Structure 1
Amino acid sequence: MLKKLSLPEPGPFTQDWEYEVADDTRINEFLSFYESSSLNEEEKFALMIIIIGSINDAIEKTDVDESLLRKAKELLLKDIVIHTNTILYWSLENQDLEDCFAITPFIRCVKEMI
């Protein structure tokens, strides 16, 4: 997955690699790759974190195309067993939205569907 997406290898002391390689200019590419590639559960888990981080960055900067959000929601729900913890993390349940991630309202909507 790393080579096909031209993502840097995590270093020996890297933490939160998925968040470091998030790129709001590549959301569509990441979503397409997730959907069209044969990925194992670990790869799907990591790539979805990259996607969510990328969307979060994009929301912080500007509006995000609704089609990208729909696709992300579809993939999250399709592989809900893999992504439940990711959804719970980004939803920040019981937190005021002012203290949350930019993507939290979207993730909370997804969470309501599970």
Structure 2
Amino acid sequence: MSLLKDVTTAEFEAEVLASNIPVLIDFHAVWCGPCKASVPALEDAAREFEGEIAFVKVDIDQEPTIAERYNVQGVPTFIVIKDGEAVERFSGLVSRGKLASVLEPFAEGGQ
């Protein structure tokens, strides 16, 4: 079972904005090569930060309202939400090391 949960517009409020832990949103599309290439790093990070940071995926073609809300212009785009607010944003192919360096400050009550 993947720790990367697909989230719809209907679930977004409860799964992301009301989360009691930080959430990393992976804005992606099925046609996006770098999005697919980022999945192994995301899955590794999701296992490492399990219980400290939630990981969700938003398909920009299926859920354009969420992508528009966060002004996502390209994929992959990653946004960290903490206490309902966007606190970090980065785009492009992501490595395991990049994810760890961005997410560690948010784990275990950081920041």
| TM-score between both structures, scaled by the size of structure 1 | 0.28
Indicate the structure with greater strand content.
2
User: Using CA pairs below 8 Å that are at least 6 residues apart, which structure has the higher relative contact order?
Assistant: 2
Indicate the structure with greater helix content.
1
Larger Rg: 1
| TM-score between both structures, scaled by the size of structure 2 | 0.29
